Amino acid sequence: MIRLITIYFIAFGITLGGTFLAGFSALLTRQAPFELMKDVAQDLKFWAIIAAIGGTFDALKGIEEGFLGGQYSSLLRQIFYFFAAFFGANTASAMILMLIRSLSS
């Protein structure tokens, strides 16, 4: 359970932090920060998921062991890790989009 929460917040933090820093860079380069932040929030979700689950082939190895080796607990654990990372990145992205909508109207 601790690992799931950690993975959730790693993906959340990567998406949220990267998006805010992209908005800051847009201000420095005189671009529209909200537009850049929307794009970056969507683009970072994939990379946040990969980074949160370890960014290595261990996750794929765990899935392979589950299917081919009959170790279903390993497969189920990797699936839970993936969903925790997905929900973390998606929550941060949704928060950014809601913040942008409320500030731009």
| Residue partners of 22: CB distance under 8 A and separation at least 6 | 36, 37, 40
Catalogue the long-range contacts made by 63-68 (C-beta closer than 8 Å, 24 or more residues apart): none
Residue in 10, 18, 37 with CA at minimum distance from that of residue 99: 37
Contact 13, 45 (CB under 8 A): no
Q: What is the pLDDT of residues 24-76, one digit of tens each?
A: 999 999 998 999 999 999 999 989 988 888 866 666 676 677 777 777 787 78
Confidence of residue 99 (pLDDT cuts 50, 70, 90): very high
